């Protein structure tokens, strides 16, 4: 184990971490913007929209991100649509994540007991008020652990970005190993930087879950 080599590689890994964080979190935000409205539309049972969303969810949940990235990065230029590797990474992660977020939030919406809606209507609330003030807050609360688990999953999926020539953590590790054959040092740094990326989100998820459990059961 050569510590001097590891120290010399740190700036490269730091640059790769910043790129991974930027693209990863932009993809996660896009996933929320796609997934939450999709889940809401399915819950509201809009027939044509519901069917389209179900097809989208099944398609993206049952195909690997790697295949989706290849389609975006190599396939779109074939039909005259030229986009950058970073845009492909964000869009691919957002579309994949949107499908998972939609299913997670849909489950949260469906877990709300029908009596909640009936009680709100008996108090004179219109359907929009019922959804906004009764169903939505409870669905968000129950979905948070699953949504955070999806965030961790999506950030880990950024490891395939290297296949479309993005200089992320995985690309940096493979490149350095190929050039200098310092496998142990490069892989150890890779593990350390992925922990830096993922551990705070995991700890946040555990904290939020404990707080929600405390709020629900009072202990």
Domain locations in the chain as residue ranges: 3-217
At 213, is the pLDDT very low, low, confident or very high (cuts 50, 70, 90)?
low
CB 81 within 8 A of CB 87: no
Has residue 120 got a pLDDT over 90? no
Token pair for 9: 């590689």
- Reported as a single tens digit per residue, the pLDDT across 190-207 is 999 999 999 888 888 777
- Reported as a single tens digit per residue, the pLDDT across 164-193 is 888 888 989 999 988 888 889 899 999 999
Give the torsion through C-alpha atoms of 142, 143, 148, 151, to 10 deg: 180
Long-range contacts of 104-107 (CB under 8 A, 24+ apart): 104/35, 104/39, 104/143, 104/146, 104/147, 104/150, 105/35, 105/36, 105/39, 105/40, 105/139, 105/143, 105/147, 106/39, 106/42, 106/43, 107/143, 107/146
Closest CA to 43 of 122, 106, 129, 99: 106
Has residue 52 got a pLDDT over 60? yes
State the average pLDDT for the chain: 85
**What number is the average pLDDT over the span 123-134?**
73
pLDDT of residue 192: 92
CB 27 within 8 A of CB 90: yes
Has residue 210 got a pLDDT over 80? no
pLDDT of residue 34: 94
- Reported as a single tens digit per residue, the pLDDT across 12-49 is 999 999 999 999 999 999 999 999 899 888 887 777 88
CB 105 within 8 A of CB 135: no
155: Cβ contacts below 8 Å, ≥ 6 apart? 24, 25, 28, 197, 198, 201
CB 79 within 8 A of CB 113: no
pLDDT of residue 214: 66
Closest CA to 6 of 193, 194, 197: 193
Has residue 216 got a pLDDT over 60? no
Closest CA to 89 of 17, 28, 175, 34: 28
Q: Kindly report which listed range (72-81, 112-121, 210-219) carries the lowest average pLDDT score.
A: 210-219
Quickly name the fold that domain 3-217 has: MetI-like fold (1.10.3720)
Has residue 217 got a pLDDT over 70? no
At 140, is the pLDDT very low, low, confident or very high (cuts 50, 70, 90)?
confident
CA distance 207 to 219: 14
At 218, is the pLDDT very low, low, confident or very high (cuts 50, 70, 90)?
low
């Amino acid at each position: 184990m050569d510590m001097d080599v590891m120290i010399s590689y740190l700036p490269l890994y730091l640059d790769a971490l910043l790129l991974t964080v930027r693209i990863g979190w932009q993809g996660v935000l896009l996933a929320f913007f796609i997934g939450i409205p999709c889940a809401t539309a399915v819950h509201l049972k809009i027939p044509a929209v519901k069917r389209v969303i179900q097809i989208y969810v099944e398609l993206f949940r049952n195909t690997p991100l790697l295949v989706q990235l290849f389609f975006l990065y190599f396939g779109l230029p074939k039909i005259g649509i030229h986009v950058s590797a970073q845009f492909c990474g964000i869009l691919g992660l957002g579309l994949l994540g949107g499908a998972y977020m939609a299913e997670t939030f849909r489950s949260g919406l469906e877990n709300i007991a029908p009596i909640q809606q009936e009680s709100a209507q008996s108090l004179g609330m219109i359907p929009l008020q019922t959804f906004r003030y009764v169903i939505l807050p409870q669905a968000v609360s129950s979905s948070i652990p699953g949504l955070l688990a999806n965030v961790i999953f999506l950030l880990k999926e950024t490891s395939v970005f290297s296949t479309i020539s993005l200089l992320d953590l995985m690309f940096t590790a493979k490149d350095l190993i190929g050039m200098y054959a310092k496998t142990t040092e490069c892989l150890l740094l890779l593990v350390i930087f992925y922990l830096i990326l993922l551990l705070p989100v995991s700890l946040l998820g555990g904290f939020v879950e404990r707080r929600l459990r405390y709020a629900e059961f009072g202990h």
